[in-house]
A and B are shown apart, each in its own frame.
Chain A
Amino acid sequence: MIASLYISFTKWEIVTPSVWVGLANYARLIRDDRFFLSLYNTAFYVFLGVPLHLFLALLAALAVNLDLRGIRIFRTLYYVPSITPAVANSILWLWIFHPQWGLANGLLQSVGLKGLYWLQDPKLAKPSFIIMSFWTIGGQMVILLAGLKGIPQSFYEAAQIDGANTRQRFWKITLPLLTPALFFNLIMAIIGAFQVFTQAYIMTEGGPNYATLFYVLYLYRMAFENFRMGYASAMAWVLFTIILLFTLLQFRISDRWVFYESSLRA
């Protein structure tokens, strides 16, 4: 109780814009081509990256939930990349994507394909970031795995006695009971992807030809390189509105597919 009061208080303080800026900033935003470009870049990253990312994380979670000897080793291996610091990770992948000496092209050439200009190619730069994001599915995988582990074994035993086969057990028990974890991951992934920053800041600085000028990177430059705090705040509010609408939509839809034990008791 005290804690939540506490929180509401701090958030209040934080959300309140410290400087009132008129609508002039928003008017200028609408005329700013680069703003729309950064929005497009970010949307590209969100709508392509997030679903693929979540799907792969689910597959990984199901795979490492198998009852096999030594499965823990796989869990560890799959998880480890996702704890690498974004900075170290960015520097590493900059090297992997190096058009001349990088591992990515090394592998392509070893199977007889031509190397690509990954981050230097305006068409490929964003997909490169998405590919890079697959490396870190471990974080979501762990949350989904926790969800899988939380499903009481007795449910499966009961289903088996009732003659449900593996597929039915997955669709009727595993997936429904995993929906809270999936929902959580989806929300977090979308919000996170909208705010992609560090990789672009370190690896491409928004290039080539502004192909990886993501929203938050552009905002950062406005605020902390050009010191146009008012403009940046306006951008922040626009982003917030977009994310908010998305999340509300998610919650609206979630009633249809997310299953909570406590909702049975309400």
Chain B
Amino acid sequence: MVTKGNASLETTQLARPIVDWGLAAKRIRRALRAAFWYAVLSFFAVVLAMPLAWLVSTSLKTGAQTFVMPPKWIPEPIVWDNYSAAFRAVPFHRYFWNTIQIVVFATLGTLVTASMAAFAFARLRFPGRSFLFGLVLSTIMLPNVITLIPTFIVFRALKWINTLLPLIVPSWLGGGAFNIFLIRQFFMTLPYDLDESARIDGASNFRIYSSILLPLSKPVVATVAIFSFIHHWNDFFLPLIYLQDTKKWTMAIGLQGFKDLYSTSWNLMMAASTAMILPLLVLFFLAQHYFVGGIHLTGIAGR
């Protein structure tokens, strides 16, 4: 940013004021503006953090403490035991293990197949490309439910009900139109010159995809990976339909089952919910710099 504050230095030496009032005023204005924005940002941060704070606070209360009006923020005594009680009540460790399997394999499948498809749609010319892309887009718009019933019938025919396969395999078949569309949108913003110069140097399509576009899209790929992870971790609808056997339950279904059993023990329910949210937060903080940090969509070093 080139500020105009130094303009006075370039005027004649004689006319230079001893104190540059213009510059001082500018600094004060800038400080005030920053203060104003901090106030706005902080207010909404508090509003958005409140539910989570209340979640954790409730999870550490005794049963009696949860039924106090107005609500108390700081539980006394702090009851860590709610967590172990919740975990004793239902086998969350098993749900956790089931969920991890789904998440890892499904996310992997999504990344590989979605980025390839996105490359094809963003860069390759082949007959019927726009028609196919239209098809893919229309699958975004397919209510899950429309595919659900036929796929349910297919998976039942394959005897995959009550296995984790129906929750993993679809990710290896394109990784979802959502992700294809997202990665393609980002590929579209990368200048064609990059491909063209690589092509002149004799690079194949796969080479352009893997050595040029993909590395430049690292933040996007990371974003999709995280979206995918979160999606599968949080997914409720599909496990609800495919996993009737409690041994196969995921965290999401396990939590719902827990709610059915302990619907008035708000402190235990909040403890279980916190336990499900926590791994996501850890993941997010580990991957954050990748993900929210400077995303150069253009591939041009602008900053």
Contact = CB atoms under 8 A, between A and B. Distances in A.
Interface of A: 1-4, 6-8, 10-11, 13-19, 60, 63-64, 66, 68, 71-72, 74-81, 83-88, 91-93, 95-96, 98, 100-101, 103, 105-106, 109-110, 135, 142-143, 145-147, 149-150, 152-154, 157, 160, 180-181, 184, 187-188, 191, 194-195, 197-198, 201-202, 216, 219-220, 223-224, 229, 232-233, 235-237, 239-240, 243-244, 247, 260-262, 265
B174 A7 contact: yes
B51 A135 contact: yes
B44 interface: yes
B120 A81 contact: no
B69 A106 contact: yes
B136 interface: yes
B160 interface: no
Given A88-B273, A261-B188, A18 B153 contact: yes
A243 B252 CA distance: 27
Contacts of B233: 85
B144 A10 contact: no
Interface of B: 2, 34, 37-38, 40-41, 44-45, 48-52, 54-55, 58, 66-71, 113, 116-117, 119-121, 124, 126, 129, 132, 135-151, 153-154, 170, 173-174, 178, 180-182, 185, 188-189, 191-192, 205, 219-220, 223, 230, 233-234, 236-237, 241, 251-252, 255-256, 259, 266, 269-270, 273-274, 276-277, 280-281, 284-285, 288, 291-298, 300, 302-303
B54 A103 contact: yes
Contacts of A74: 41, 45
Contacts of B294: 149
Which of A17, A92, A154 is packed against the most chain B CB atoms within 10 Å?
A92
B146 A63 contact: no
Nearest to A142: B292
B220 to A, nearest CB: 8
Contacts of A235: 145
A112 to B, nearest CB: 12
A72 B285 CA distance: 11
A110 B70 contact: yes
Q: Chain B: interface secondary structure?
A: helix
Chain A residues touching B, majority SS: helix
B295 A3 contact: no
A31 to B, nearest CB: 21
A152 B192 contact: no
A71 B150 CA distance: 47
Contacts of A237: 146
Contact of B297 (A6, A72, A149, A202): A149
Given A81-B51, A95-B266, A149-B297, 11 more contacts: A18-B153, A76-B288, A77-B45, A84-B277, A101-B66, A152-B298, A184-B181, A188-B140, A223-B145, A236-B149, A247-B141
Contacts of A16: 150
